[in-house]
Chains A and B, each alone.
Chain A
Amino acid sequence: MIFADNTTKKLVPYATGGITRDWADCLRAYQDHGADAIEIGLPFSDPMLDGPTIQEASDRALARGATLDRILADLAGFRAEVPLIVMTYANLAIRPGFAARLAEAGISGLIVPDAPLDEVAPIRDAANAAGLDLIPLVAPSTRPDRLRDIAAGAQGFVYAVSVLGTTGERDRLDAAAGPLATAVRALTELPVLIGFGVSTPEHAAAAVTHADGVVVASALMRRLLDGASPAELGTMTGRFREAMGSGNGVRVREPV
């Protein structure tokens, strides 16, 4: 279980592991500004579902020598007070011992966007054996019967991809996001979080009228690539938190 209660709106900011020397400071900043969980991207050379920003972030991290070993070593110095979730591609996730290593490092969940329902069983089994939740993605194109199957096997939360497209900032929240989140919520007790294109606090506020929370990735990584400091990313996270409502602007911190 990623989230201990379902009563508040969840904010999950993202950071590409190893993107900068002090990337773990971003996690601290996220956590200090109201993140309910943090998604860490384990960079892959051929990211099929990522748009230009996350792709650039992955390339930069790999060019800096980011590996699973180094990313986990960086995390060892970080005192996580919220659940950590790793997102990466199937070629990394199928490697022997992968899930166990994540679990040892304190990771609670795993997202593998190119391992759909039909191919996910071995990865989910390995994740579960290590004590990790395998978080599924659904898309606006997912048909109702498949949506039911995915929701039935979901763990942690359901990641509702708001657009037919890759990750990336967008001018407005896609109209497909709300109906998709609503459809999935009818099928599961787990939280449903909207991701892809949640670019501004206003988008996040709109998203959580339909969903239980949001994942914010490209908007944060764009600022980081443009030179923003971890503290500035923390401030930005706080704005998302505030817009999503958190009880009189007080930081929400779920018990872990």
Chain B
Amino acid sequence: MGVMSEPAERGRFGEFGGRFVPESLIPACQEVEAAFRDAWADDGFRKDLDELLAVYAGRPTPVTPARRLSAELGLTLLLKREDLAHTGSHKINNVLGQALLARRMGKRRLLAETGAGQHGVAAATAAALLGLECVVFMGERDIERQAPNVHRMRMLGATVVPVGSGSRTLKDATNEAMRRWVADTAEAYYCIGSVMGPHPYPWMVREFQRVIGEEARTQVERVPDVVVACVGGGSNAAGTFAGFADTSARLVGVEAAGGAAMTGGSPGVLHGHRSMVLQDAHGQIAEASSVAAGLDYPGVGPEHAHLGAIGRATYATAGDDEVIEAVHRLARTEGIIPALESAHALAWIVRSAGDLAGLTVLMTLSGRGDKDMEMFQ
């Protein structure tokens, strides 16, 4: 299989991916896979999705040249503006696709996990639009730090279920969503928010996010030298990379220093797939820690593990302090307040500016920072 095409047999990206779920979920995963293959090959489905992306989500999002910051850094920085998509992040691309799929499959309810709340808000939005119920699982700690998004989800009619187990963050919300799905496969569709989970989710979510990279490709005058995106599970990065995987562009994913599965993890099985995960010497999953709730996750999508293993993409980290500094810098030079998650990519660019001098760097600004305002004060 070529880079970023369909996964190999059993949903493998090299040695990563797969379908590590209880036997009771196997038919549900098979059903999602069959439905996705059918829908993705159906022009009618693609047309419905494209139309929603255009008339509802606000696509195409622009590529904005960051002129003042570029001058300061000595490079050409282009921002792919997913913050301008409806609900304020790239998450809406994937969720509109999955919600359309759920409706096509005759499901009544979306189950979703969320960290920063952006996927939860997007899922609640798509559910409202398409007349589906929505249940969002969210760690208690994330509920505390992302209150505006919790309020939004509830306004949109979603039920937000606090998860008090483990680290009380995205990892535990994902466990709970999976456990609920086991018990509710007949009526519920599990709408995973990133390029993770059992096959076909990592592949399907990347395909729904591919629009980021493909749009950007048509919006830039020439292929950028470097393409950068932040990585939690890694969906905005996967979607961005998919548009440039067949070019000479250097692909860089930036993780939170406290949740760096690619650089600090080892191969393991978590949340239905084999990938790089943070774990202790005994095989217990470690607790990730980041100022950005969306990156506070000890795993990464399996395709990123593969892209890293074959050397097609490289992965770096950014620490909380430089990330917050990057947020302020973009706000003051360009009038854009990025989400803490996206600011990881920017922090890496700022730090690497010396090495990137004179180059054209495309960065996906995956979401806006409104939800994080309390953290900036």
A residues at B contact (CB < 8 Å): 44-51, 55, 59, 62, 67-69, 89-92, 94-95, 113-119, 136-143, 146, 150, 161, 163-166
Contact = CB atoms under 8 A, between A and B. Distances in A.
A116 B270 CA distance: 14
B20 interface: yes
| Residue among B28, B185, B270 with max Cβ neighbours from chain A (10 Å) | B270
Contact of A164 (B24, B165, B282): B24
A136 B24 CA distance: 12
Contacts of B24: 49, 139-142, 161, 164-165
B269 A90 contact: yes
A48 B27 CA distance: 16
Contacts of B185: 141, 164
A188 to B, nearest CB: 15
A47 B26 CA distance: 17
A137 B183 contact: no
Given A91-B283, A142-B27, A116 B22 contact: yes
Nearest to A89: B269
Interface stretch (B68-76, B135-143, B171-179, B357-365): B171-179
B353 to A, nearest CB: 39
B286 to A, nearest CB: 8
Contacts of A137: 22-23
A92 B269 CA distance: 9
Given A68-B282, A94-B269, A164-B183, A48 B18 contact: no
Q: Is the interface of B mostly helix, strand, loop or mixed?
A: mixed
Contact of B269 (A68, A114, A139, A161): A114
B161 interface: no
Contacts of B344: none
Nearest to A88: B283
B179 A48 contact: yes
A163 B179 CA distance: 13
B332 interface: no
A115 B20 contact: yes
A248 B7 CA distance: 58
B269 A91 contact: yes
Interface stretch (B226-234, B240-248, B271-279, B312-320): B271-279
Interface residues of B, number: 33
7 contacts: A46-B271, A89-B269, A90-B269, A136-B23, A137-B22, A141-B24, A143-B27
B194 to A, nearest CB: 16
A91 B183 contact: no
A119 B283 contact: no
Given A89-B269, A91-B283, A165-B183, A118 B23 contact: no
Given A114-B269, A164-B24, 4 more contacts: A44-B284, A49-B179, A116-B22, A117-B26
B283 A92 contact: yes
A91 to B, nearest CB: 4
Contact of A118 (B19, B186, B272, B282): B19
- Shortest beta-carbon contacts, A-B, top 3: A139-B24, A165-B183, A90-B269
B203 to A, nearest CB: 16
Nearest to B183: A165
B283 A139 contact: no
A179 B271 CA distance: 30
Contacts of A136: 23
| Residue among B28, B282, B285 with max Cβ neighbours from chain A (10 Å) | B282
B182 interface: yes
Interface string B1-35: 00000000010000000111111101110000000
A92 B277 CA distance: 13
A113 B22 contact: yes
B183 to A, nearest CB: 4
B62 interface: no
Contacts of B20: 90, 114-116, 119
B19 A166 contact: no
A161 B27 contact: no
Contacts of A117: 23, 26
A149 to B, nearest CB: 11
Contacts of A92: 282-283
Nearest to A69: B282
Interface in B117-175: 165-166, 171-172, 175
A59 B166 contact: yes
B308 interface: no
A47 B175 contact: yes
B268 interface: yes
Nearest to B286: A45
Contacts of B21: 48, 114, 116
Nearest to B27: A141
A89 B165 CA distance: 18
B30 to A, nearest CB: 9
A45 B23 contact: no
B179 A51 contact: yes
Contact of B26 (A48, A50, A141): A141
A38 B327 CA distance: 56
A67 B282 contact: yes
